[in-house]
């Protein structure tokens, strides 16, 4: 029986509705903080699973305990399963920071939910990979003065990988076709009911990326900037995939269980799940197929009304510590934003950054929020540049999962 998760429906729609109500959120009076003072004793962070570790799962992975001891700022975390849930939680308020991916960060900025960051108060900012220091998903000229402002501090990046069972695939799969199209796998059985897809509207981009490679006549140039025809073609592919899907996942624990106990053998996933399954000695590996992959470049952003701004700035600086960056990359399977972390880290090892995909930056289409205004002229006639906006991605992905 197909297992379909519906939690993201609520968080997606709720997130959109709450953002609409938050457009007038005021900026901090007087602009960003000019001096980091004594900590307030606490900092609350909305984050992806595996991003904030204090050694509870494995004592070797702990980048919270030392921070708390050195600053007196106790870390409180709230795990979110999707970007839409992150937006909804930040709209509710009461949090200091969020580790936002690109499909949430620009929404948070435009809604006034996050504040400009004074990078002078984050001394290690200069150590961030130059490709990420001024990335468009966190650097925006919101006040129109011609100089973009920083609205966050890069944290980690990586690709959405194709995770597979090595007992079923004697050779690594080379294409995303094993999750999009019905096929006979290496064990002689169909993939129907044995694959999974991500439980979020942004997953439409994965379908678009697949079509960009296999159906060039569609003219897709950016999987997040889709004309109506390109968008509809992507939805048709997802409707086809729905007949194969065992579960639309957003809970990493459930996906791990599905690969361990429920017969799932291939899925779009994060390196985090791959690492945990390999650690548990499961026959699991991952690959980035020939079509490339979507991915995430996450940014730690501060709520406009952060209740603990001094502790928040202390965490922003701590987050760029080379040891934290290397340990986190080892734990999650991601790539550090501080490149010096790629050397001399006992957990990551000197080969770890290459293993985690540092060379895949150009092959990764990083998540961003789809907007009605395209960044190119899809018709090729210098006419209107209309693309399908994100709210339609939400409603249509709900329809696909619901069988419509």
pLDDT of the chain along its 404 residues, tens only?
A: 333 343 444 444 444 444 443 333 444 556 899 999 999 999 999 999 999 999 998 999 999 999 999 999 999 999 998 899 999 999 999 999 999 999 999 999 999 999 999 999 999 999 999 999 999 999 999 888 999 999 999 999 999 999 999 999 999 999 999 999 999 999 999 999 999 999 989 999 999 999 999 999 999 999 999 999 999 999 999 999 999 999 999 899 999 999 999 999 999 998 889 989 998 999 999 999 999 999 999 999 999 999 999 999 999 999 999 999 999 999 999 999 999 999 999 999 999 999 898 999 999 999 999 989 887 665 555 455 689 999 999 999 999 998 88
Tell me: do 203 and 275 sit in the same domain.
yes
pLDDT at 376: 64
Q: Is position 256 within any domain?
A: yes
Same domain, 199 and 288: yes
- The per-residue pLDDT for 28 is 58
Q: Are residues 72 and 147 in the same domain?
A: yes
Classify residue 2: in a domain, yes or no: no
CATH at residue 328: 3.40.190.10
Say if residue 117 is in the same domain as residue 263.
Answer: no
What predicted TM-score, i.e. pTM, was given to this entire model?
0.84
Q: Do 394 and 306 share a structural domain?
A: no
Give the pLDDT score at 159: 94
Query: Domain of 51?
Result: 7-158+296-366
Do residue 126 and residue 145 come from a single domain? Answer: yes
- Number of structural domains the chain divides into: 2
Same domain, 362 and 390: no
Q: Do residue 272 and residue 387 come from a single domain?
A: yes
Shared-domain flag, residues 53 and 63:
yes
Is the domain of 186 the same as that of 121?
A: no
**Is residue 228 situated within a structural domain?**
yes
Q: 229 and 166 in one domain? A: yes
Query: 3-class secondary structure for the chain?
Result: CCECCCHHHHHHHHHHHHHHHCCCCCCCCCCCCCCCCCCCCEEEEEECCCCCCECCCCCCCECCHHHHHHHCCEEEEEECCCHHHHHHHHHHCCCCEEEECHHHHHHHHHCCCECCCCHHHCHHHHHECHHHHCCCCCEECCCCCCCCEECCEEEEEEECEEEEECCCCCCCCCCCHHHHCCCECCCCCECCCCEEEECCHHHHHHHHHHHHHHCHHHCCCECCECCHHHHHHHHHHHHHHHCCEEEEECCHHHHHHHHHHCCCCEEEECHHHHHHHHHCCCCEEEECCCCCEEEEEEEEEEECCCCCHHHHHHHHHHCCCHHHHHHHHHHHCCEECEHHHHCCCCCCCCCHHHHCCHHHHHHEEECCCCCCECCCCCCCCCCCCECCCHHHHHHHHHHHHCCC
Q: Is 1 within the bounds of a domain? A: no
Question: Is residue 43 domain-shared with residue 138, that is, in the same domain?
Answer: yes
């Amino acid at each position: 029986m197909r297992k379909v998760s519906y939690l993201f429906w609520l968080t997606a729609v709720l997130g959109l509705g709450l953002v609409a109500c938050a457009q007038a959120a005021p900026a901090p009076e007087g602009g960003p903080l000019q001096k980091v003072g004594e900590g307030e004793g606490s900092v609350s962070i909305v984050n992806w699973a595996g991003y904030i570790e204090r050694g509870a799962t494995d004592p070797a992975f702990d980048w919270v305990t030392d921070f708390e001891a050195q600053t007196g700022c106790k870390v409180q975390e709230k795990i979110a399963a999707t970007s839409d849930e992150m937006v909804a939680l930040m709209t509710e308020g009461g949090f200091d920071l969020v580790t936002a991916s690109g499909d949430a960060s620009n929404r948070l900025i435009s809604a006034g939910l996050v504040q400009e960051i004074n990078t002078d108060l984050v001394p290690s900012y200069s150590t961030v990979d130059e490709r990420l220091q001024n990335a468009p998903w966190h650097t925006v000229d919101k006040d129109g003065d011609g100089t973009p402002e920083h609205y966050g501090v890069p944290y980690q990046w990586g690709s959405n990988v194709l995770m597979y069972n090595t007992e079923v695939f004697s050779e690594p799969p080379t294409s995303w076709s094993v999750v999009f199209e019905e096929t006979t796998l290496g064990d002689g059985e169909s993939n129907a009911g044995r694959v999974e897809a991500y439980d979020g509207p942004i997953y439409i981009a994965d379908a678009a990326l697949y079509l960009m490679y296999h159906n060039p006549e569609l003219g897709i140039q950016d999987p997040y900037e889709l004309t109506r025809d390109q968008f509809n073609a992507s939805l048709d592919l997802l409707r086809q995939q729905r007949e194969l899907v065992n579960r639309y996942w957003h809970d990493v624990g459930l996906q791990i269980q599905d690969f361990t106990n429920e017969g799932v053998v291939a899925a779009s996933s994060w390196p985090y799940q791959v690492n945990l399954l390999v650690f548990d000695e499961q026959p699991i590996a991952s690959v980035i197929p020939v079509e490339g992959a979507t991915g995430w470049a996450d940014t730690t952003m501060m709520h406009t009304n952060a209740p603990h701004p001094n502790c928040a700035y202390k965490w922003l600086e701590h987050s760029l510590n080379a040891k934290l960056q290397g340990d986190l990359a080892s734990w999650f399977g991601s790539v550090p934003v501080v490149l010096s972390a790629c050397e001399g880290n006992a957990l990551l090892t000197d080969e770890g950054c290459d293993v985690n995909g540092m060379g895949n930056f150009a092959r990764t289409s990083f998540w961003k929020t789809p907007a009605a205004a395209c960044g190119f002229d899809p018709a090729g006639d210098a006419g209107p540049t209309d693309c399908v906006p994100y709210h339609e991605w939400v409603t249509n992905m709900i329809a696909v999962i619901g069988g419509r």
